[in-house]
Amino acid sequence: MAELTQESLSEERPKVAVGTPTVIVDDLHIMYKVYGAASEAEKGNAANALMRVLRRQGRPQMKEVHAVRGVSFVAHHGEAIGIIGRNGSGKSTLLRAIAGLLPPHKGAVYTNGQPSLLGVNAALMKELTGERNIVLGCYAMGMSPAEVREKYDDIVDFSGIGEFVQFPMSTYSSGMGARLRFAISSAKTHDVLLIDEALATGDRDFKRKSQDRIMEMRESAGTVFLVAHNLDVIEETCNRVIWLHKGKIKMEGDPQEVLEAYNKA
């Protein structure tokens, strides 16, 4: 890979404030296998659909999916980058690859610091109370007991779960679980924070608090990646947008310009 300099990065993306590179994605290809997938010739045919069902009772078919196709970009300290695209465009796959959860088929991902995918480092266990999940989630992110005590009340208040913090997670709604997961994950300063649809649940007040928290993390931490179908959240939160289409970057740059082109498409 060619040596990166501040000058060359500035020339490539003049509209993005250049700080220290935190993530470099270099010609990244991600492939995975799907069992029971239909070929193009079989789709839309009732007889073939029946044959697929019968075949699955024996040896299942396997198909390779090329989810990310030659994606390259550089992210910098202080950026909040929105990832947009239709379902199946490779958004979540890209985040998981940056987090180190999916190995590249080709190319590479370089990170300066530890990437944290929301909901992975702060995994919640349904049989435990919210209180225990907060403590264990913070420990999993490397926080000390003193830091956990310092952040505990803020996490509970931010999540809005109130007295339910003493109840098992199995009693929570999906929205309550998502709010607590975000509150735990955002309680620590991250080098690279990856958020996949975390703001899709919750009322307007929580979404606003979440956006404000992301802005704080941008100022005090490294880089934030945000996948969200709500384009208003992307526009209000991010200073840069990457539009993925069929695993490739179709457009990237200023949020207003990219979102306008995306909406027209």
Inform me whether the pLDDT recorded for 10 exceeds 50: no
Measure CA 189 to chain center: 16
Higher per-residue pLDDT: 252 or 50: 252
CA distance 35 to 31: 13
- What does the pLDDT look like over 11-49, one tens digit per residue? 443 344 457 899 999 999 999 887 765 554 545 556 665
pLDDT at residue number 62: 75
| Lateral strand order in the sheet of 106-111 | 62-76, 21-35, 106-111
pLDDT at 99: 92
Tell whether the model's pLDDT for residue 65 goes beyond 90.
no
**pLDDT at position 5:** 43
Give me the pLDDT at residue 44, please. 56
Domain 6-26+76-264 in this protein, CATH class: alpha beta
pLDDT band with cut points at 50, 70 and 90 for residue 78: confident
| CB contact at 8 A, 184 and 165 | no
The predicted structure's pLDDT at residue 154 = 95
Q: Domain ranges in the chain?
A: 6-26+76-264
> pLDDT (tens digit, 9 = 90+) per residue, 205-260?
887 888 888 878 777 767 899 998 889 889 988 999 999 999 999 999 999 999 99
Quote the pLDDT of residue 136. 92
Which pLDDT score is estimated for 59?
59
pLDDT digits (tens, 9 = 90+) for 80-120: 999 999 999 999 999 999 999 999 999 999 999 888 887 55
The whole-number average pLDDT for the span 54-79 is 81
Q: Is the pLDDT of residue 133 over 90?
A: yes
> For residue 206, which of 180, 225, 188 has the smallest C-alpha distance?
180
Q: What is the pLDDT of residues 164-219, one digit of tens each?
A: 999 999 999 988 888 898 899 888 888 898 988 766 666 778 878 888 888 787 77
- Whether residue 216 contacts residue 201, with contact meaning beta carbons closer than 8 Å, is answered with no
Label residue 70 exposed, middle or buried (CB < 10 Å: 0-12, 13-18, 19+). Answer: middle
Q: How far apart are CA 81 and CA 49, in angstroms?
A: 41
